[in-house]
Structure 1
Amino acid sequence: MQKDQVKVVLVTGKSGAGKQPRIDAICDFFGAQQLSTGNIFRELIGKFNASGFQLPIAALWNSAANAFHTDAELTALLTANCKTPAAPADVPQVILGGKAKYYVENGLFCPDELTNALFASAFVALLHAGKKIVLDGFPRTVAQYHFLKQLLEQEHQRIDFDLHVELDDDFIVRRATGRRICPKCQAVYHTIFVPARDGRFCKTCPGDVEVKQRADDSTEEKLRCRLHEFAEKVVPMLEEVKADHVPFVVIPGHLEDPSKESLRRSVLSAVEPLFH
């Protein structure tokens, strides 16, 4: 495999394992663009939050049917209970944001049909624009992996390799509860390992942009739930990736030297043997 032939890279690992800085290094090395389902969902959740929905998020769920209320029912619910009702054209995205928030706040993965629809449109658009893509957060289940393989076959592409970030569950819990994200540039900080400026502000963005804790990092209970979901859903998917003979490169999610250069060397020394 030649470096300039790389088109699609998969980055996998538990939530909180340290994928983002490794993704940054891979994107820099290949001149690629990150496609993160997490960012797609956070954008949608932001639209839902901006609507000022005044009921608990559980109101979106029909417990008798063990499913969300119908979209027509949700539209009526949003219209009657939002401080800032969305324009009619934006209501479908606000509804999607509400559904995504329900899963996130309960520490659950979003179901495949919801995730696949959002992923496919963004992925194909980037491919058609000639971009090299680093996938983050997709696929997370066997069914999503099969969906991705079908998309790749349609587009005459393949997964060039999987960079897997490995880290112990207990360390992840300690790390993730201290993680902070810049809402503007998405830079990642940590209250202990990589503090923000004055403990509050992004070091990259001009002005005083305050870093935030992600909702899905807020409690150990939510983190443990996500780690359990990883073991149940992602691990079987990774076994299929390996069975398909996709090059699988494992790197540590924690380095004693947390500098950007040390991290870059760790990633490149692992992937460079793939190329000739």
Structure 2
Amino acid sequence: MPRNDAPDDQAPVASSPPTRLALIVRGGWEGHHPVAATELFLPVLRESGFEIRIEESPDVYADAGVMRDVDLVVQCMTMSEISREAVFGLRDAVAAGTGLAGWHGGIADSYRGSSDYLQLVGGQFATHPSRAPEDRPGDERDNFLPYRVEISEAGREHPITAGVGDFELTTEQYWVLHDDLIDVLATTTHPVQPYHPWHRPIVSPAVWTRHWGEGRIFVATPGHTPEVLEQAPVRTIIERGLLWAARTPSE
């Protein structure tokens, strides 16, 4: 009769899942606190099995040898410039399965001079409307408005935003130019105000995803400061978004 037990030296050995690589690209305008902001999310990445590599320039995207091994790019690079070689390196990596994720100006207001980058991400910061003239203190708070982020019908079923209700923020409210290839998980509405020139409410995506070849892209527009990023719904959405965008070990 065959035995079900095996000698100790033949017992199966448990193996830990392979380590994945997250590339953090941070820099650009210091007003978005690229170091402090990205540091908030390193623990959840490490706990999820990622090795972390940090770069302070998008030039790394042009290195095909590096990008081939990257499972997730977390970008926090407001404005700045990018070379043609770097932007096409990023596009090629995402198309091959590397995830791309970020928040606020670190991804939605990067490399304004590159239409190829804008096409990849699918949405571009246009402005953040200001408060009423009499309520402006004359600093960045001029653009801090109370506004609502509303989870879309698709967002209520998506793993990034499922179970997250609509929520209120007082910070920059992004007006985003976008295309129809994005899947909108949450929106925000810019109301008509007598001191603004538009004549009807404008609905902008606040959280979206995008598929590009074999890769996934995640963007959240809240996140002007670490204090905004630490608010529970924002942090939950971003943490989930990073993990959703990343290439999985089976891919």
> Which one has a bigger Cα radius of gyration?
2
Q: TM-score scaled by structure 1?
A: 0.32
> When you count strand as a share of all residues, which structure comes out higher?
2
RCO (CA 8 Å, sep 6+): is it higher in 1 or 2? 1
